[in-house]
Amino acid sequence: MPAAPPLRVVQWATGAVGRHSLRSLITRPEFELAGVLVYDPDKVGRDAGEIAGLPPAGVSCTDDVERILALDADCVLHMPLPASYFGGDPTADVETICALLASGKNVITTTGFVHPQSYGPGLVERLETACRTGGTSLHGTGVNPGFMSDLLPLALTGLSSRIDHVYVRESSDFRGHPSRQTVVDLVGFTLSAKDYASAVRPFRTFQRALFTESVQFVASALGVALDEVEGGDEFELAAEEFEIAAGTVRPGTVCASRWTFSGLVRGRPFMTVECVYKADAARVRRWPKPGFAVRLEGVPQMTLSVDEVSHGLSGAASHAVNAVPAVCAAPPGIRTLLDLPLVTGRGTVRLA
């Protein structure tokens, strides 16, 4: 039986996550790189292989959105920073995704959309209309949300006879994160407390929307109607100067933050997500060390810990890339984790 032709995939954005995704598209035989959309003018016209740190791939990067829309491709891996970061229209990501879907390309995005139903029927109908027009599917994914705060809790509930509270904690070390746009401009590390308070507003809006989706998704899957999702955040100031990949953290500047999001039923939390971000976990003692934890309170009580994810950016990219075949094979429409078969890394297994 002849092998299936490779799936033609577009890489949209080549930042910290997108470069990992791009490497997979170039090196894995089940994919053919159809195009690359970049935002940095210095990358326009360069070969995709050069951007990914690989030999030439024969595909030039472009910043021409219309050119990407006109391409013949099966799927787009949409991995830009959230539109709200750029200070423009926060619905710009929706506009882009709808245009891609209507052009006949399935879309896998790391900008949210793990549960678009959280935003109400208006957005859902808009996305579904684009899917119907193009005969395509949309899937939102990532590490957290997209896996740790969604897939793992739901998998554990299969052992439960009663669920009282679902708790998920992420603690991430940004010491080696290469993107100053993300670490400084978006998350707010290295800034003074005053500058942080104003600079982090777009990120706060994005975080609340993102984790509201995650909490609503899990609650909906378990048949629980939440009354509201409340959120809060706090930060820590550095006591000493130290270097990270994105810059210098000086004494008195922000070096860590803690975010909590709770889905409430009659005033009590049904699901809580706690996110701790540290500029350098070895220098910031407050709050838990890096890793993930999922705890189900009920009958029985269960706690699952993932003590280390050595490269979260690679994990986010891989979860999206590994979903491409399933999303391309799915019927048109919004496809959440529950609508797809289990996504694994079987296409990348290497045996000695």
- Both tokens of 288, joined, read 């838990």
Residue type, 58: G
How many Cβ atoms are within 10 Å of 294's Cβ, its own excluded? 21
Cα(43)–Cα(242) distance, integer angstroms: 31
How many Cβ atoms are within 10 Å of 16's Cβ, its own excluded? 20
Each of the 352 residues of the chain gets a pLDDT tens digit; together they read 567 899 999 999 999 899 999 999 999 999 999 999 999 999 999 999 999 999 999 999 999 999 999 999 999 999 998 776 655 566 789 999 999 999 999 999 999 999 999 999 999 999 999 999 999 999 999 988 999 999 999 999 999 999 999 999 999 999 998 889 889 988 999 999 999 999 898 889 889 999 999 999 999 999 999 999 999 999 999 999 999 999 999 999 999 999 999 999 999 999 999 999 999 999 999 999 999 999 999 999 999 999 877 776 788 899 999 999 999 999 999 999 999 887 777 655 554 4
pLDDT of 352? 47
Q: Let me know: does 249 contact 242? Beta carbons within 8 Å.
A: yes
pLDDT of 90? 61
- Both tokens of 342, joined, read 């289990």
- Both tokens of 211, joined, read 């984790």
Cα(68)–Cα(63) distance, integer angstroms: 9
pLDDT of 260? 97
Cα(4)–Cα(18) distance, integer angstroms: 26
3-state secondary structure of 43: helix
Cα(95)–Cα(90) distance, integer angstroms: 10
Cα(345)–Cα(209) distance, integer angstroms: 29
Helix (H) or strand (E) holding 126: helix 121-134
- Both tokens of 10, joined, read 């577009």
Cα(196)–Cα(188) distance, integer angstroms: 6
Domains of the chain, CATH where assigned: 7-143+314-348 (3.40.50.720), 151-308 (no CATH)
Our CA dihedral for 8, 52, 37, 332, rounded to 10 degrees, sits at 40
